[in-house]
Structure 1
Amino acid sequence: MRSISNSIYVLACLGLLLYGCEEPVREDPFVGMGAARWDVGKSANFLLSDDRFTKLELEIAYMEGFRPTDVLLEEMVGFLEEVTFKPEGVVLTLREIPAEGEEFYSAEAIASLEDQYRQSYNEGNTVSVFLLVVDGNFMQDETEFFTIGAAYRNTSMVLFGKRIMESSGGFRRPPRGILETTVALHELGHLLGLVNVGTEMVTPHEDEEQEFHCDEETCLMYWTVETSNVFLFVPQTIRTLDANCRNDLRANGGR
């Protein structure tokens, strides 16, 4: 009896030992919803290079009545193809969502809307970027100074559709397509780590008074682009990145 008991004991211990040696299944921290909850600029290298992701998906969800112009759709895809290394390409998905009818949206409300409507997250070899277009204005806007767009998570940005509609066309106002595209590309630049927010600078060029923005007034990453101050320059063409910003992107894995 003692021999049988000893054998059972040994088998039991062996079973525990073997079980304990099994490799735990670990989730990939760079895919799924959790990987879209980081700070702006934290995914810059993933977006720019082909080291981890070889394909990029741009998902745009717009509220009814605020569909982005074809100019924006074409220019955003073209911009990403120009500055990123994605051998399997850049794909665009466009979807209408119900209008909320709110005059103002807080940062918390915008994040909540993303949680509700975003469908694409990093998966497999595909990295995802999300653009939300809302039908109102930003909660923190002031009468004389307001925000047109913002990057708010590592792969997330928002455009304030109502503000764009009111601020484009007419006397001393840029065409809608030019305005919304310029702002969207500016916010996309922040997701790519510009300026000094996830992509290191090759040559110092961060504006001393406007953090995370380029000090070159004609550059896409100049601070006025995303605010009402853009009208000081009345852009009639879409701005481009200057040499310093392009060098930064290349140094972080981009083209």
Structure 2
Amino acid sequence: MKFLFNKLAFYGLLIGGVYACSVPEREDPFVGLAAARWDVGKSANFLLSDDRFTNLELEIVYMEGYKPTDYLMDSMVEFLQEITRKPGGIEIIEKEIPAEGKEYYSTQDIGDLEDRYRERYNEGNTVSVFFLVVDGSFMPDEEGFFTIGAAYRNTSMVLFGKRIFENSGGFGRPSRGTLETTTALHELGHLLGLVNVGSEMVTPHEDQGKEYHCDDDSCLMYWAVETDNVLQFTPQTIPELDENCRNDLRANGGR
């Protein structure tokens, strides 16, 4: 995929001389703040392929006391190296921010936090992902059902650290590293366009009862992974992408 930026010049013979006038180059619509305000999945090809961006960076911003485990960070890089084409490499940038001390965060709260703390945006040959970890829970949570993570813009995702701490470790529960990594990779999958939100399906496999998720209950992109239901089938291991999801990523520029 090539993006061409045209510079137009025209010349006119005016009274007594020749004047050259030009139209300034158009701004690149795929870099900067504006390019980070699209819907989930709309940057899937940019994240997967090397057609436009050859480097990828993860800006991980976490509230005090909720720093992600090294296992999560290493796993995210390994996951992206396996399925994306980024010859320039994949880099993690970490930053701690003050804890807000809020019990619940609404969608608006999360967006406001990104606006306040995000520093990295697509620039040059680098595509950037913003990964936020907060110290509370998601506002729409209901008793008996809660959200652990969410992808909410084309290059933005969030984990709810309080939920992860409360539901990891101990008998019959996944380790903290396993739970947060499973959830983070699932949300990253949505940013990569899975399932059917930016990476077109090669073979139909979207769950008819849970849109935007895989119908294979052993796949990383199964709907339960981003909710408390993940506790029922991810005791100590992280699910992998099934072949249908992998084929979708390959067809959209990935490996």
Bin the TM-score by the shorter chain: over 0.9
Q: Which amino acid aligns with 2:177?
A: G
Aligned-partner SS, 2:144: coil
- Consecutive unaligned residues of structure 2, counting only runs of 5 or more, are 1-13
Q: Which residue of 1 aligns with 2:11?
A: none
Q: Is 1:10 paired with 2:20?
A: no
RMSD of aligned alpha carbons? 1.3
Q: Is 1:205 paired with 2:205?
A: yes
Q: Which amino acid aligns with 1:138?
A: F
* Deviations 1:201-221 (CA, angstroms, capped at 9, x unpaired): 000000000000000000000
* Deviations 1:21-60 (CA, angstroms, capped at 9, x unpaired): x022311000001100000000000000000000000110
Aligned-pair identity (%):
71
Q: How does 1:101-112 map to 2 (within 5 A)?
A: 101-112=101-112
Distance 1:185 1:11 in 2: 67
From the superposition, tell whether residues 113 and 52 of structure 1 become closer, same or farther in structure 2 (CA, over 3 Å). Answer: same
Q: After TM superposition, which residue ranges in structure 1, 4 or more long, deviate above 3 angstroms?
A: none
Q: Which amino acid aligns with 1:191?
A: L
Aligned length: 243
Q: Which amino acid aligns with 1:158?
A: V
Distance 1:224 1:132 in 2: 21
Distance 1:231 1:81 in 2: 27
Shift of 1:238: 1.1
Q: How does 1:69-88 map to 2 (within 5 A)?
A: 69-88=69-88
Shift of 1:232: 1.9
Greater CA drift, 24-33 or 212-221: 24-33
Q: Is 1:161 paired with 2:161?
A: yes
Which has the larger share of strand? 2
Q: Which amino acid aligns with 2:15?
A: V
- Consecutive unaligned residues of structure 1, counting only runs of 5 or more, are 1-8
Q: TM-score normalized by structure 2?
A: 0.93
Shift of 1:237: 0.6
* Deviations 1:51-99 (CA, angstroms, capped at 9, x unpaired): 0000000110000000001110100011011100000110111111111
Q: Which residue of 1 aligns with 2:233?
A: 233
Report which of the two structures shows the higher radius of gyration computed on alpha carbons: 1
* Deviations 1:159-187 (CA, angstroms, capped at 9, x unpaired): 00001000101122111000000000000
> Is the 1:172–1:234 contact (alpha carbons within 8 Å) kept by the matching residues of 2?
no
Q: Is 1:224 paired with 2:229?
A: no
